Amino acid sequence: MKSEIYLSIVVPVYDEADNLETLHAELDQALAEVGGGVEFLYIDDGSHDGSVGVLLGLAKRDERVRVLCLEKNSGQSAALEAGFKAARGEIVATLDSDLQNDPADLPRLLAALDQADVVNGVRANRQDTWVRKLSSHVGNGFRNRMTGESVTDVGCSLRVMRRSFLCNVKLHRGMHRFLPTLLRMEGARLVELPVNHRPRLHGQSKYGIGNRLFVGLADVFAVRWMQSRRLSYQVQERDRADAP
Ligand code: UDP
Ligand code: MG
């Protein structure tokens, strides 16, 4: 049976004031056909540009909107985890709040959940500078090789997941980049689908080579360790009637 809220949209927001009205309108339109209740969780990660005011304006007009505010900028993983904990839907979808991901892709990703527990986007025609595309390419290749993975585009935030798997995942700083792997470690079936990607028109990217590529590469060793130390056992409770 479906829970009252079927889908929770979880969106981290850090200084994205000029993107939020358009984002919410696009989400609203894209999800009009999705059956079941939808909630929109916008998590403000310590913005200084008036994003919270815009979000509260959205919440005033649309009662499906919930606004969570982190006390200070705590990073994308923290914002996502706060959203995951507050989410009530059976399914959780994430996307960036800068309009680079296209909400119009969501119905297709949701439909693919009938054969999977996680559907991860792959940015088909990525609209970023060549430096960033190259750094992603190097990062993805290294991560996959070191963790025995085959995730094409971990940097793509557009994904949909069954919340029952998310509940078992503990995020650490920067670990949102390993979410598909962490979910797979919990037994989730992963599918990848191409998604649209658009240039950032308002606001600025929060990452450069220094705070993405090398930090991400260091995290690879932590994930590798977790994979190697994963608990694996079968347990069975015995009936006292079986006592000899
Ligand atoms: N973001 C956040 N906290 C941060 C950095 C980023 O909530 O400390 C959000 C940001 O507002 C955006 C998403 O995470 O919605 C991805 O950030 P960005 O677009 O800067 O990353 P890029 O697309 O450049 O990799
Ligand atoms: Mg972006």
Q: Any idea which ligand is nearest the CA of 48?
A: 1
Both tokens assigned to 82: 């706060």
172 versus 10: the higher-pLDDT residue is: 10
Q: Is the CB of 100 under 6 A from ligand 1?
A: yes
User: Which atom in ligand 1 lies closest to the alpha carbon of residue 96?
Assistant: 15
147 versus 190: the higher-pLDDT residue is: 190
pLDDT (0 to 100) of residue 136: 81
Is residue 232 domain-resident?
no
**DSSP-assigned beta bridge partners for residue 7:** 38, 91
pLDDT 10s digits, 20-35: 999 999 999 999 988 7
What number is the average pLDDT over the span 218-230? 90
Both tokens assigned to 70: 């982190």
The CATH number covering residue 81 comes to: 3.90.550.10
pLDDT (0 to 100) of residue 210: 64
What number is the average pLDDT over the span 162-185? 92
Chain centre distance of CA 203: 20
pLDDT (0 to 100) of residue 212: 63
Is residue 189 domain-resident?
yes
- Parallel, antiparallel, or unpaired for β 5-13 and 91-94? parallel
Site to probe by mutation for ligand 1, drawn from 74, 98, 195 as the one with most ligand atoms within 8 Å of Cβ, is 98
- Give the number of domains in the chain: 1
> Can you tell me which residue has the tokens 């962490």?
182
Enter the DSSP assignment of 167. T
Is residue 12 domain-resident?
yes
Count CA atoms within 13 Å of residue 50 on its CB side.
Answer: 7
Site to probe by mutation for ligand 1, drawn from 96, 127, 209 as the one with most ligand atoms within 8 Å of Cβ, is 96
Is residue 77 domain-resident?
yes
Is residue 155 domain-resident?
yes
Per-residue pLDDT band at 2 (split at 50, 70, 90): very low
pLDDT 10s digits, 113-153: 999 999 999 998 888 888 888 888 888 888 888 888 888 88
pLDDT 10s digits, 37-75: 999 999 999 999 999 999 999 999 999 999 999 999 999
Enter the DSSP assignment of 172. -
Does residue 101 have a pLDDT over 60?
yes
Ligand 1 centre and the CA of 14: distance in Å?
6
**Domain region containing 63:** 5-226
What number is the average pLDDT over the span 68-90? 96
Enter the DSSP assignment of 228. H
Is residue 235 domain-resident?
no
Is residue 17 domain-resident?
yes
Is residue 197 domain-resident?
yes
pLDDT (0 to 100) of residue 1: 44
Separation between Cα atoms, residue 35 and residue 110, nearest integer Å: 11
177 versus 3: the higher-pLDDT residue is: 177
26 C-beta neighbours (distance < 10 Å), count: 17
Nearest Cα residue to atom 23 of ligand 1: 205
